[in-house]
A and B are shown apart, each in its own frame.
Chain A
Amino acid sequence: MMLQPDLVQFMAVGGGQAHNSNKEEEFSEATEQQEEMRRRQTEEGNPFIFSPQLLRLHRDHELFEDGDILRHMYLQDLFISEAEEQPTTSVSEFACHISGCRVVFSTLDEYEHHYNSLHRHVCCSCRRSLPSAHLLDIHLQEWHDSLFIILAQKQDMYLCLVEGCGQKFRTSQERKDHLIRVHKYPPDFRFDKNRKEKGTRDTRREQRTDTAMEAADDVSRSEGVCEVMCSVQSNQHEQEESMEAHASSEEAARIEDNSASAQTLETSTEALKLKYSYRVPKTVCFGQGSVRGFRGQRGRRK
């Protein structure tokens, strides 16, 4: 019921409500910290603006509505003291920050699971999200390193996908056979797909109406190791694919079921396709911390 933006607006503008405009007075108590804050706030490019504010609320302010209703219900003989008809308290939801990913969660755990499953280990180049650092490494090497192809002609470069195995193979097929024979992996293991040439990458744009299976198949038809397309366009040099969001508008409750069945893909019966084009600083790529922010870029400005 409370319009929070309204309240912040009131505070920011300094009493923007109608009727008597009540100017907010700010009294300054110059403690050392506050002097420092003020100094920082005038620094170049510092976007932080908070300072404590006295809030004077006019009698018609929205914040007072419920209390006024209580008062008038009392005057009209309709007051009830018990919580019988009272509104229940509500709890804030959590939401994935990644623009275009619209999922909301009722618990932190769900948020963490979502983020860790779908938005980590992301390749800076093609925005794909891999399930683990190991697979991301392999992806970067095999998909985005031009040196790889050259080296692969002379030596075993295809690393086994199982962490800790460490074996290398001359071709991806040999690796696949190894995975099946030694590690008992299924032949259609999702995270072992071949990379196709650039330019034929996933170009599907139309609405998908069913589950992740189809999406995965589509990816597998075109490309290799990765799965979910992450919805962020990181910089203007990204030209191969337009940024689509496999954003899901599902309810948080369904995440549990879906992630069980579809490994790490989001599922949605009405996947939204959003395009947007804001820029994100080129120097940062999300994934496993900014320390690895340049993974896959190898000094090449992207």
Chain B
Amino acid sequence: MWRLNKVRHKAGGHANTLEELRLRRREKERALRQARRDRQLVSKRLILNEDEEQDLMEITPGEQDVVSLFHALQHSGTDKEAYLRTLSKALRNPSAQLIFIKLENSMHLLVGLLTGSDARCRLQAVRCLHELSHSPHTSMASACLPATPYLLTYLSGQSTKFTELCLYTLGNICPDSEVVKERLLAQGIIPALASCIQNRTHNLAVVEAAGFTLFQLLQTKDAVQKVIPMVLASSLPSQLLSVLTPDPEFGLAPAIECAWCLHSLTSSAVDHRELLAQGALTQCSSLLVSLGGAVVDGNTDQGVELLVCPLLRCVGNLLSSCPVEALSSQLGDVHLVAALCELVFAFLHTFPALARETAWVLNNLTAHSTELCSALLTFNLAPRLMELLPFSQGINTMILRVLANVAHKKKEFCIRLAELGLLSALAATLKMANQDMVTLSLEVLFMMIVSSPQIAEQFVRQGGLSVLEAIQYNNEGEVRRRATHLLEQHILT
């Protein structure tokens, strides 16, 4: 079970100094980015024993011990639990893992202990399997195949810790091998996960683990063809939605896992109708409003970004499938547009990437909805958005799109935007080095100018002519054409 407040603690056990920690993190980040580019971004989780969580500097037993432990297990009578406990620690070592699975009948032994009558041995056996599942060697996954039907069966058992270990073990191995994934699907992992979440809503640690496992399943290759249809057909979508609101005592972790599952579904699936019908957009957007408010107030748990991020993505992608007529019923609350606007500011300097994603959602909100564009003006958000226009790396281009969406709807909106100072803002953005900003600024200027002759006059009064003239000498032909057209057809005539 994962607690954010334990993160520092664990990480601190491995690195001696803060600097080492930073270095390690930076390396890890680089590796993750490369993995993502290679479309191979997968992570595993390791649950530690309670007693282990205090001391990670414990020296793990060497490789030779694995062999002797195995022999001891095969022959001993009553001490099996102790040997298993030691074995599970030994199996933390990657080379020990390889040695173990190559021993004849090693997995057979483990499975036997996993399913035997001694409950304590079962627990230790699943710990051993869990260590194996966390291995960097992908061959481990197939080696664990004999255990999977039992692991799945145990998901409907009652022992919390045991169930958690089963779930994380399954979650760790399914992205490693197509064979394993196929087998798990055939063995009914999806209904098993669904009932895990459904029946254990009082037990959030298990819900979190199930969410993680489902997420892993959704990251597998060909998930779109093989996994997602099954998931959408099951009761999982509604289960996931029901867990989204974080429990104040337990924390964000289960909601985080479920939200990321929903993101995997909405960003891969082409057909969102089922999810929309189940109220996914409604739920995610109202949660965003409340979380967003808390973020802005500075009133949140550590790590709330991990929940806000997938929620933003779900809303953004679901909006792209939602017919505009249905928007008001789906969204329920036009305050989403205000919440999102403030969220951009809240993330601007802490997580600029999330500020960018929020701006994307704003674009999808305002693209075709006159009602929401009107709300944006009513809530006086346009000046706020204009304050964002200096910020690069994808933020200002998206925000300018939002303003363009508003201008595109009605003449009255253009006039209002002009009153609120959009022309001055454009006078600045037209001079930016980023050509996309210049092109988009010209587009917005065009819409403004054709909507009212007063706007053209205002633009000229504010000294806009010289900018347009300069733009006629720009490198890009498309940019020059637009400036010329504006000058010749609309300003100077």
Contacts and interface: CB of A to CB of B under 8 A. Distances in A.
Interface of A: 1-2, 4-5, 7-8, 20, 22, 24-29, 31-34, 36-37, 40, 45-60, 63-81, 83, 85-99, 104, 108, 111, 115, 119-120, 232, 278, 280-281, 284, 286-287, 289-290
B492 A290 contact: yes
Nearest to A75: B43
A115 B10 CA distance: 57
Contacts of B324: 27, 29
A8 to B, nearest CB: 5
Interface string B426-448: 00110111111110101110110
A73 B27 CA distance: 11
Contacts of A284: 469, 472, 484, 487
B473 A280 contact: yes
Contacts of B465: 289-290
Nearest to A89: B352
Contacts of A94: 428, 431-433
Given A111-B431, A286-B472, 6 more contacts: A27-B324, A29-B369, A92-B390, A92-B437, A97-B431, A99-B473
Contacts of B410: 31-33
A21 B293 CA distance: 35
A281 B433 contact: no
Which of A25, A49, A73, A89 has the largest count of B CB atoms less than 10 A from its CB? Answer: A89
Contact of A64 (B25, B43, B313, B487): B313
30 contacts: A2-B356, A28-B368, A29-B370, A33-B414, A47-B482, A50-B408, A50-B440, A50-B446, A52-B408, A54-B320, A55-B360, A58-B267, A58-B268, A59-B264, A60-B36, A63-B356, A67-B354, A69-B32, A71-B310, A78-B7, A78-B11, A78-B28, A79-B7, A79-B303, A87-B352, A92-B429, A99-B475, A111-B431, A120-B466, A286-B472
Given A94-B431, A99-B474, A2 B394 contact: yes
Contacts of A7: 394, 397, 436
Chain B at the A interface: mostly helix, strand, loop or mixed?
A: helix
B28 A93 contact: no
A73 B29 contact: yes
Interface in B7-46: 7, 10-11, 22, 24-26, 28-29, 32-33, 36, 39, 41, 43-45
Given A83-B349, A88-B349, A278 B477 contact: yes
Nearest to B408: A52
Interface residues of B, number: 112
A31 B440 CA distance: 22
Contacts of B29: 69, 73, 78
Contacts, number: 270
Contact of B391 (A90, A108, A287): A90
B396 A92 contact: yes
Interface of B: 4, 7, 10-11, 22, 24-26, 28-29, 32-33, 36, 39, 41, 43-45, 224, 256, 260, 263-264, 267-268, 270, 302-303, 305-306, 309-310, 313, 316-317, 319-321, 323-324, 348-357, 360, 363-364, 366-370, 390-397, 401, 404-405, 408-411, 413-414, 428-429, 431-438, 440, 442-444, 446-447, 450-451, 465-467, 469-475, 477-478, 480-482, 484-485, 487, 492
A213 to B, nearest CB: 27
Contacts of A83: 349-350
For the complex of A and B, the 4 pairs showing the least CB-CB separation, nearest first, are A66-B353, A95-B433, A59-B267, A2-B394
Given A33-B409, A47-B478, A4 B484 contact: no
B260 A4 contact: no
A208 B438 CA distance: 32
A55 B360 CA distance: 8
A80 B353 contact: no
B75 to A, nearest CB: 38
A70 B259 CA distance: 14
Given A50-B440, A90-B393, A97 B466 contact: no
Contacts of A31: 370, 409-410
Contacts of B438: 97
A26 B405 CA distance: 13
B271 to A, nearest CB: 11
Contacts of A51: 408
